[in-house]
C-alpha cells in the first residue's frame, strides 16, 4: 500500500467555490480528516491559499469548475454569490455532487425565495412584497426597507424608507434591479442558529447565538444564547430546503417570537465561535456533511464570545496576552471595515467570560 | 495600509527544519496566528505541504537554510536529527535566531549529554556509562541496555543485554558507533511531561501524560495523569537547557520516584492530546514560544486519550461515528508500523472517557 514519494496524498479532494477566510478555515479543518480542498477564486493569493490549492479563475469559470469535477469527491461553496448555472452544468456533466444543492443555493441567493420558503414552512418573516412598480414601495407603510433580492450582505444592498418622501430616491437607487420591500420588524435582539445536515440526512444544530451588528456588519457573537425554538426552526429550514452542509439562519427575536431574516447556505461568521466553543466546529462539520460522513457533537465547551477584527490587525502579542483568547487571522491586508480576523474567548461561566471580554476590550483599546 | 492583490500576506514567516506530521500540525496551528511556515524537507510532497511552503532539500542544505534565514523571523525544528553545524552557520551569518538553540538541540540529540544534564540538575536517571570498550558493556551488570548516543527513536538504536553471553553480539552491533550502556530501570509506568518556554523566559507546562508503548513505539497517551513532581522537573530541565519552544521529557515512574529517560527538543507525539484536550495546543504554544509571544493557558479541557493510527488508516466514517472522536490524519501512504494519524477522545469524566475509548477500540477492531 505504500506509495512512491511525490505522489498524490491519500484521501478525498473537496472542491470549494470561493477562497476567502471561510474557505481558509474550511481547508484548515479539512486536513486533519485527510481531506484536501481545491478552491476556485479569482484573487491569486487569497486567504484560503494558506491551506488549499487555488485555481485562479472567476467563480463561474467552466474550465476551473470542470477541473473540480474531475478531481473532487464533492463540490461546495463558501459564498452564495456563485454561478449556479455553471455549477449545475458541472454536476450534470461530471456526476460530482454540488452540496448544498444548486436549488438550495438558489433559494438562499434570493431574499424573496428565502421568505417564501420560510412562509411555506409556517415560519414567521417580516411582511414583504415583491417590487414591480413604484407603488409597491409604499404598500407596507413606513418605515420599511427596500432590499435587492440578490447580492447584498453586511448591510449593503438595502435602503430604509422612512416615509413617502423616500420612495422616489429608493426607486431610482434600485434602478430596475429585482427587489422586495419589507415591513419594519421591531426586534429585541438579533440571533442566529446554525444547523448542519449530512448527505445521509443526519441533522445537528449548535446552540443559538446572539449577534451584535455595527453599521450592518457583524461585530460580536455570543453563545450559547437562550433562544427557545431556534434549533427546531433551523431543523425545519434545513430539511425544507433538502440542504446538505451548514445552513446559517439569521433571526430577529421579537415580542411575538422568532422572525426569519436571512439564510446563508454555508459556514457563517456567527458560527466562528464553534472552533473552540463547541465539540465540533462548523468548518469540520461542513466537511463531514458534504462528504456524507457522520456528524460530530455540537455540544458547547463553555460560554463563548467571538469578536471580529475589522479594518486593522491589533498587535498579536496584545491579543495573546488576554487569558483564554484564541486568535484567528485571515492573512488579509488592512483596509477600513474589512474582516481581517476574529478572537474567540471561551470561559466556564458567564461571569468569567465577562471578565475576559473586558480584558480583550482593554487590550484592543490600548493597541488601537 | 491595503496591499495590492498577489502580494505576500502580512505576518511573520517561521522557518522549520523537517516537514513530517509535526511540521504539518505546526503549520496548521500557525496560520490562525498569522504565521506562515516554510519547511526544509527532502521529500517533495511531505505531510507539512498541506499548509506550509516546502523547500525540497536535505535538512542541512546550506542554500535552503540561507533562504529560511532571509525570509523567517525565527527558525525551529520538528525533528532532532538536524545538522546543528549548518544551523549555527545560518544563525551566525543571518542573525535569525534558531529556537530552540543549537546548544539545546545538541544536548537532546545525544543520550549521554541528556543524562549528564539531568544529573547536573540533581534529577535521577538510569545508571549509565559511556561505552569505549567491550568491558563497559558488562560494567553495570545485567539486564542492561546498549543504546547508540544518537539517532535512535521509537525503540530503534538499542539492544538489550540479558547477560554476559550477549556482550559480543551487542559490541558487534554497535560497530564502533558512539554508545552508552544503561542499567535496567524497573518502572511502574512510562509518563511524559511537556513544557514550553518562550523567548521571553515565560514557562508553562501541561498536565503530565501516561504513555503506553508497543514494540518500542508510542501507542496511546492519557492525560491528565497524576504524576507529582513531573511539571517541576520539566521546568528545571527547560530552564537548565535555556530552552526556547516545547521540550518533551520522557520519564519512568518508579518505586523510587521519577527517572529521566529521554528529551525531545520539539513538539512530541505524547502531546498530540493537547490539540483538543488543553486550552492551548503544543503546536500553537511552540509557535508562540519561538516568536517570543505570550504563552497560552495549558489547562486541560477534560480527560483525554490519544490513540495512534499505525500502519493502516481505518475508514474515516468508522472513526467519526465514535462520540467525541477527533481524527487527525497526516496525509501519508500506508506502510506497516508507520504513524499515519491519531485519534483524540476528550470526555468530562474518566468513566465517560473509558466508554468512548471502548467505542473507538470496537470501531477500529471492526474496521480492521
Element (DSSP H or E) covering residue A226: none
The string of DSSP letters for A77-100 reads ESSS-S-HHHHHHHHHHH-PPBSS
Both A45 and A194 in a single domain?
no
Question: Residue A16 pLDDT > 80, yes or no?
Answer: yes
CA B335 to chain centre: 21
A196 within some domain: yes
Domain boundary among A118, A152, A183: A183
B295 occurs within a structural domain: yes
What was the pLDDT predicted at B3?
37
Determine the longest span between alpha carbons in chain B, in angstroms. 74
Assign residue B304 the CATH number of its domain. 3.30.470.20
Rounded Cα distance, A7 and B331, in Å = 11
What per-residue confidence (pLDDT) applies to A1? 32
Question: What is the CATH classification number for the domain harbouring A173?
Answer: 3.30.1490.20
Mean pLDDT of A297-324: 96
Q: Supply the mean pLDDT for chain A.
A: 95
Q: Is A103 contained in some domain?
A: no
Q: Considering only residues 17 to 36 of chain A, which have any Cβ-Cβ distance to chain B shorter than 8 Å?
A: 24, 28, 31-34, 36
Residue A297 reports pLDDT greater than 80: yes
pLDDT at A156: 76
Same domain, A350 and A253: yes
Whether A3 shows a pLDDT value over 50: the answer reads no
Residues 284-313 of B with CB under 8 A from A: 288, 293-294, 296-297, 301, 312-313
CA quadruple B271, B333, A48, A106: dihedral, nearest 10: -120
Locate the chain B residue with the closest alpha carbon to A3.
B333
Report if residue A331 sits inside a domain: yes
Neighbours of A25 (CB within 10 A): 29
What is the predicted pLDDT for the residue at A157? Answer: 87
Give the mutation candidate from B21, B24, B29, B32 for the A interface (greatest A CB count, under 10 A).
Answer: B32
Residues A87, A78: Cα–Cα separation, whole Å: 13
Angle between helices B62-71 and B84-94 (to 10 degrees): 40
Q: What single-letter DSSP state applies at residue A125?
A: B
A28, A34, A326: residue with CB nearest B31: A28
- Regarding whether A196 and A148 lie in a shared domain, the answer is no
Yes or no, beta carbons of A331 and B9 under 8 Å apart: yes
For residues A263 and A364, what is the distance between their CA atoms, to the nearest angstrom? 31
State how far the Cα of B307 lies from the Cα of B311, in Å rounded to an integer.
13
Interface contact flag, A7 B333, Cβ < 8 Å: yes
Question: What CATH number does the domain containing A51 carry?
Answer: 3.40.50.20
Judged against a pLDDT cut of 60, whether residue B135 lies above it is answered with yes
A220 — pLDDT class (breaks 50, 70, 90): very high
Mean pLDDT confidence for B110-130? 97
Q: Is B356 on the interface with A (CB under 8 A)?
A: no
Domain boundary among B77, B98, B119: B98
Q: Does B276 map to a domain?
A: yes
**B335–chain A Cβ distance below 8 A for any pair:** yes
Mean pLDDT across chain B: 95
Q: A70 is in which domain, residue-wise?
A: 13-98
Both A131 and A203 in one domain: the answer is no
ipTM of the complex: 0.95
Across B186-207, average pLDDT:
98
Confidence of residue A7 (pLDDT cuts 50, 70, 90): low
Question: Could you tell me where the DSSP H helices lie in chain B?
Answer: 21-30, 62-71, 84-94, 102-109, 111-120, 167-174, 230-240, 274-277, 282-290, 316-320, 350-367
Domain finish residue from A98, A119, A140: A98
**Residue A153 has what pLDDT?**
63
Sign of CA dihedral A364, B2, B5, B6: negative
Confidence of residue A249 (pLDDT cuts 50, 70, 90): very high
State how far the Cα of B315 lies from the Cα of A340, in Å rounded to an integer.
Answer: 37
* Same domain (yes/no): A212, A309: yes
Q: A152: part of which helix (H) or strand (E)? A: none
pLDDT tens-place string over residues B309-362 = 999 999 999 999 999 999 999 999 999 999 999 999 999 999 999 999 999 999
Please tell me whether residues A326 and A206 are part of one structural domain: yes
pLDDT tens-digit series, residues A104-157: 999 999 999 999 999 999 999 999 999 999 999 999 999 999 999 998 666 678
Q: Is B279 an interface residue toward A (CB < 8 Å)?
A: yes
CA–CA gap between residue A350 and residue A361 (Å, rounded): 16
What is the Cα–Cα distance from A324 to A244, expressed in whole angstroms? 33
For the range A127-135, what are the long-range contacts, defined as Cβ-Cβ under 8 Å and sequence gap of 24 or more? Answer: A127/A182, A127/A183, A128/A180, A128/A181, A128/A182, A128/A183, A129/A180, A129/A181, A130/A180, A131/A174, A131/A178, A131/A179, A131/A180, A131/A181, A134/A167, A134/A168, A134/A171
Is A254 within a domain?
A: yes
pLDDT of residue B215: 87
Shared domain for A207 and A305, answered yes or no, is yes
H or E, element range at A176: none
User: Does residue B277 lie in a domain region?
Assistant: yes
Question: Are B171 and B226 in the same domain?
Answer: no
Query: Residue B71 in contact with residue B15, Cβ under 8 Å?
Result: yes
- Nearest 5°: phi and psi at B184? -70, 135
Does the global pTM surpass 0.80? yes
> How many domains is chain B partitioned into structurally?
3
Contact B31 A24 (CB under 8 A): yes
pLDDT of residue B156: 76
- Of the candidates B342, B337, B343, B330, the residue with the CA atom closest to the CA atom of residue B312: B337
Say whether both A70 and A214 belong to one domain. Answer: no
In a domain, B119, yes or no: no
Whether B253 and B323 map to the same domain: the answer is yes
Report the percent of chain A where pLDDT is more than 90: 93
* Domain match, B177 and B264 both: no
Q: For B245, left (φ over 0), alpha (ψ -120 to 50), or beta? A: left
Q: What is the dihedral of CA A51, A55, A58, A59, to 10 degrees?
A: -60
Quick one: average pLDDT of B177-206?
97
Residue A2: band (very low, low, confident or very high) from pLDDT cuts 50, 70, 90: very low
Other beta carbons within 10 angstroms of residue A262's beta carbon come to 17
B195 lies in the same domain as B163: no
Amino acid at each position: 500500500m505504500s506509495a512512491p514519494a511525490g505522489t498524490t496524498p491519500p484521501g478525498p479532494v473537496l472542491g470549494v467555490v470561493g477562497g476567502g477566510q471561510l474557505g481558509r478555515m474550511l481547508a484548515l479543518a479539512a486536513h486533519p480528516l485527510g481531506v484536501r480542498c481545491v478552491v476556485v477564486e479569482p484573487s491569486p493569493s487569497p486567504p484560503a491559499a494558506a491551506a488549499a490549492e487555488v485555481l485562479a479563475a472567476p467563480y463561474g469559470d467552466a474550465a476551473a469548475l470542470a477541473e473540480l469535477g474531475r478531481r473532487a469527491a464533492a463540490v461546495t461553496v463558501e459564498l452564495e454569490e456563485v454561478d449556479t448555472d455553471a455549477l449545475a452544468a458541472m454536476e450534470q456533466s461530471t456526476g460530482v455532487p454540488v452540496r448544498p444543492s444548486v436549488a438550495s443555493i438558489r433559494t438562499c441567493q434570493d431574499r424573496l425565495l428565502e421568505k417564501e420558503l420560510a412562509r411555506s414552512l409556517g415560519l414567521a418573516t417580516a411582511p414583504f412584497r415583491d417590487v414591480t412598480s413604484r407603488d409597491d414601495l409604499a404598500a407596507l407603510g413606513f418605515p420599511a426597507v427596500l432590499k435587492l433580492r440578490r447580492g447584498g450582505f453586511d448591510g449593503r444592498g438595502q435602503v430604509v424608507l422612512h416615509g413617502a418622501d423616500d420612495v422616489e430616491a429608493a426607486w431610482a437607487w434600485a434602478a430596475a434591479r429585482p427587489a422586495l420591500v419589507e415591513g419594519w420588524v421591531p426586534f429585541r435582539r438579533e440571533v442566529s442558529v446554525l444547523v448542519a445536515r449530512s448527505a445521509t440526512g443526519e441533522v445537528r444544530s449548535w446552540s443559538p447565538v446572539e449577534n451584535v451588528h455595527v453599521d450592518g456588519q457583524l461585530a460580536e457573537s455570543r453563545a450559547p444564547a437562550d433562544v427557545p425554538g431556534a434549533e427546531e426552526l433551523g431543523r425545519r429550514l434545513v430539511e425544507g430546503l433538502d440542504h446538505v452542509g451548514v445552513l446559517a439562519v439569521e433571526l430577529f427575536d421579537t415580542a411575538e417570537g422568532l422572525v426569519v431574516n436571512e439564510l446563508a447556505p454555508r459556514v457563517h461568521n456567527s458560527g466562528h465561535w464553534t472552533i473552540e466553543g463547541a465539540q465540533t466546529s462548523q468548518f469540520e462539520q461542513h466537511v463531514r456533511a458534504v462528504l456524507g460522513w457522520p456528524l460530530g457533537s455540537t455540544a458547547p465547551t463553555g460560554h463563548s464570545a467571538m469578536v471580529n477584527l475589522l479594518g486593522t490587525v491589533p498587535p498579536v502579542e496584545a491579543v495573546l496576552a488576554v487569558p483564554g483568547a484564541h486568535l484567528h487571522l485571515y492573512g488579509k491586508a488592512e483596509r477600513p471595515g474589512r474582516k481581517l480576523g476574529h478572537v474567540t474567548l471561551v470561559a466556564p461561566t458567564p461571569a468569567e467570560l465577562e471578565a475576559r471580554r473586558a480584558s480583550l476590550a482593554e487590550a484592543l483599546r490600548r493597541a488601537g
